[in-house]
Amino acid sequence: MKRIARGTLALAAASASLVCMIDRPAAQQKELVIGEQCDRTGATQLVGVILCPGIMDYIDLINSKGGVEGYRIRLDEIDHEYKVPPAIEAYERYKAEGAVSIMLYGTPQTQALTQKLNEDKIPGTSPGFGTSAAANGTRYPYVFPIAASYWSQGAAAIKFIKDKLGGNLEGKKIAYLYYDNPAGHEPMVILEDLRKTEKFELKNFAVPPPGVEMGAQVLDITQRFRPDFVISHLFGRSPSVAIKELKRAGYPLSKVVGLVWASAEADVQAAGGWSVAEGYHTIQFAGVGDDYPARHEIAAMYKAQGKEPPKEMQNTVYYNRGLLAAALHVEAVRNAIKARGGEKPSGEDVKKGFEAIHGLTLGGLVPPMELSASDHEGGGWVQIFQAKGGKFVKETSSPAWMPRFGWRFRPAVQWPRRLAR
Amino acid sequence: MAATIGAVIGIPSLRIRGLYLAIATLAGQLIIEWTINHVSWISGGVQASIEVPRPTLFGAQLRTQAQFYVFLLFFAAVAIVATINLARSRIGRAFVAVRDQDIAAEIIGIDIFRYKLLAFAISSFYAGVTGVLYTYYLGIANYEQFQINVSIDYLAMIIIGGLGSVLGSIFGAIFVTLLPIVTRWMLEGLGGLILSPADLANIIPNLRLVIFGALIIIFLALEPEGLSRLWRNIVAYFRVWPFSY
């Protein structure tokens, strides 16, 4: 017993001295902190392990080129395991470090931090997830669901199907296969709206978490409902299961379109490879593939350091989304510093910096979005790709980038009214 | 409200016990989760997430983390005092008797039905209060915060802290909450000397899970009765320090 007690004491003393030793290195002059939340271990780690290196590489690239307007950017990544309390703890740390903007990660985390962001005047971005209604910048001043919210994705899917089916959806059947959680429910309002205006038949098929068992739903879709098109809104492991099951049921994958989190190379590989997924359509809010200047520069940066480019780069869908998120933050910070005439910007300045973003394309990697004080989504642009011959190929029947379709800023339907503040 | 639902979930406890009971209550959790997610008049349905306003106390709104800390500490203190007192009361003694051997308890005149349901109701009451405070802290109420992994976390806290002791559950909660944060600090400080930031970001979260698991195993192997026993041992050691024997 004595030994244990002594051991515990020694351990406590050692850890205490360690914590003291690890004082962070003194901040260099002219440095800006950007907070980055990530999930490399939790429920959505399939995304996080690719997306977050993309963000880091882009910031490294910017710093290796001398930073932004003379400022070095320090990226502080904190892994929150897709849980809300660690996300809040991480946020408090960012605040203490004086972060000027924060890359959020995950819909519940975004919702939890929305109020705090407003109070502390720090802008946060939620690319491709989060609260769709936050596209309305006057109601949600410090949240940016940039690129494409779930509403825009759902609407874009309908638009794409409409074009595919000859420009008229009247009497057509569309199946909506979704992951049964709040994010899965999110596009429903917009689908329901469009169902009324476009007069198609819509049926929802829920996949309960964790989403690896959907044989019954797929049978129901393919044998009973027999839709003209399927919209698949799934996360994590489940997109690959959907591809596999639909294939097995003999449903043509060219009549399936996956929203943005059901659309990565990893999903196709997990489904059994490109030959299985041939024809599968995906919605993307960042460019897919290798042919973008930013990616070439990152590869060159690694070469210059005598290293191989990281293997994460091969999963272009998520990696490029990381580049997009990082590029937007860099651009916003740049705008903010310019507006302040070279002085160190505050969170409020960076928010205005975000709202001043336009014409940032990075050679086609980023959609041609125009953010403004009222439109925090920048137009809701997406691109459609199809799995073809071992990679995602840009769908030719639709324009290069599709803007938001069929919805303007909807009134505040997002919270039940009696419970809203 | 929580107490009532807890009591309903607790009814199977009359017929089954041990591991089977645990599984039955987990099933109850899944039912509740599904109901909250799908019955729109409870949760608002479609986007099942409710924005919770900051609590107002005597006209002052709680904003900072420090204010929240004091606010929550008050509730924690009340809960701890209540629990310690409960354990010493007739009810608490009856709980202990039922736990140790329910047939014997029945023979000495304890109404098992009543006390089992009471146990469920009281613990659900605590959980309900905690849940409300938790949503205040988080700023939103969303069923995704109350899924099965939370139950497992709490179970881990109790086991690490030590079963059947109030002090143990406090230790367990502190341990499980702080461990990820402390390991992150240490790893960042130490790892920064050896690894590049990109590698570090990749390794920390995973290593943290490994360390977390390993520490739980070590603690349980070292002291199956949990942190509270360890604490008592340390106290006992220092009571006679430095002249022990």
At A78 the pLDDT is 85
**pTM reported for the whole predicted model:** 0.77
Does a structural domain hold residue A187?
Answer: yes
Does a structural domain hold residue A395?
Answer: no
Whether residues A269 and A165 share a domain: the answer is yes
B46 contacts A4? CB cut-off 8 A: no
C-alpha torsion angle, residues B4, B8, B9, B12 (rounded to 10): 150
Give the A:B interface size as CB pairs under 8 Å. Answer: 127
Chain B closest CA to A252's CA: distance in Å? 30
- Can you say how many angstroms the Cα of residue A309 is from the centroid of all Cα atoms in its chain? 23
Contacts of A9 in chain B (CB under 8 A): 234
Whether residues A266 and A209 share a domain: the answer is yes
Across the interface, of B182, B197, B230, the residue whose CB is closest to A8 is B230
For residues B24 and B10, give the distance between their C-alpha atoms in angstroms, rounded to a whole number: 9
Does a structural domain hold residue A415?
Answer: no
Kindly list the distances between the CA atom of residue A293 and the CA atoms of A64, A127, A345, A382, A417, in Å, as whole numbers in the listed order: 16, 21, 28, 20, 47
Whether residues A246 and A312 share a domain: the answer is no
Does a structural domain hold residue A404?
Answer: no
Kindly report the backbone phi and psi dihedral angles of residue A33, in degrees, each rounded to the nearest multiple of 5, phi listed first: -105, 130
Whether residues A51 and A119 share a domain: the answer is yes
Chain A closest CA to B121's CA: distance in Å? 27
Q: Is ipTM > 0.85 here?
A: no
Q: Give residue B52's identity as a one-letter amino acid code.
A: V
B237 contacts A5? CB cut-off 8 A: yes
Across the interface, of A19, A81, A119, the residue whose CB is closest to B185 is A19
A362 CB-side CA count, 13 A: 27
For each of chain A's 421 residues, which pLDDT tens digit applies? Answer: 445 445 444 545 444 444 444 444 444 458 889 999 988 887 777 888 888 888 988 998 998 888 888 888 888 888 888 888 888 888 888 988 888 999 998 887 888 888 888 888 999 998 888 877 788 887 788 888 887 888 888 888 888 888 888 888 888 999 999 988 778 888 888 888 888 888 889 999 988 877 888 888 898 888 899 899 999 998 888 888 899 889 988 899 889 999 988 888 888 888 888 888 888 999 888 888 888 888 888 888 888 888 888 888 888 888 999 999 999 999 999 999 988 888 888 888 999 888 888 878 788 788 888 888 888 888 788 888 888 888 888 876 666 677 777 655 454 444 333 333 3
Whether residues A143 and A161 share a domain: the answer is no
Q: CB–CB of A275/A243 below 8 Å?
A: no
B188 contacts A112? CB cut-off 8 A: no
Does a structural domain hold residue A53?
Answer: yes
Range of the domain at A160: 150-284
Whether residues A279 and A167 share a domain: the answer is yes
Does a structural domain hold residue A230?
Answer: yes
CATH number of domain containing A144? 3.40.50.2300
Pairing type for strands A72-79 and A229-233 reads unpaired
At A82 the pLDDT is 82
Last residue within a domain, chosen from A249, A284, A319? A284
Residue to test with chain B: of A1, A46, A82, A235, most B Cβ within 10 A: A1
Whether residues A241 and A325 share a domain: the answer is no
CA-nearest of B225, B94, B117 to B165 is: B225
β-strand partners of A284: A383
CA-nearest of A323, A294, A311, A309 to A127 is: A323
Does a structural domain hold residue A67?
Answer: yes
For residues B230 and B225, give the distance between their C-alpha atoms in angstroms, rounded to a whole number: 8
- List pLDDT tens digits, range B73-128: 988 999 999 988 988 888 888 888 888 887 888 888 888 888 888 888 888 888 88
- List pLDDT tens digits, range B21-77: 778 778 878 887 777 767 666 655 445 456 666 666 666 667 677 888 888 898 899
Query: How many domains, in total, are found in chain A?
Result: 2
Chain A closest CA to B156's CA: distance in Å? 17
Whether residues A236 and A135 share a domain: the answer is no
Whether residues A191 and A310 share a domain: the answer is no
Q: CB–CB of A146/A125 below 8 Å?
A: yes
Across the interface, of B45, B140, B201, the residue whose CB is closest to A77 is B201
Whether residues A325 and A373 share a domain: the answer is yes
- Residue A131 gets the label, from left (phi > 0), alpha (psi -120 to 50) or beta, of beta
CA-nearest of A350, A307, A358, A309 to A332 is: A350
B182 contacts A185? CB cut-off 8 A: no
At A124 the pLDDT is 92
For residues A260 and A282, give the distance between their C-alpha atoms in angstroms, rounded to a whole number: 7
Whether residues A298 and A360 share a domain: the answer is yes
Q: CB–CB of A84/B138 below 8 Å?
A: yes
B149 CB-side CA count, 13 A: 10
B189 contacts A182? CB cut-off 8 A: no
Does a structural domain hold residue A388?
Answer: no
Whether residues A62 and A104 share a domain: the answer is yes
Contacts of A182 in chain B (CB under 8 A): 47-49, 142-144
B233 contacts A112? CB cut-off 8 A: no
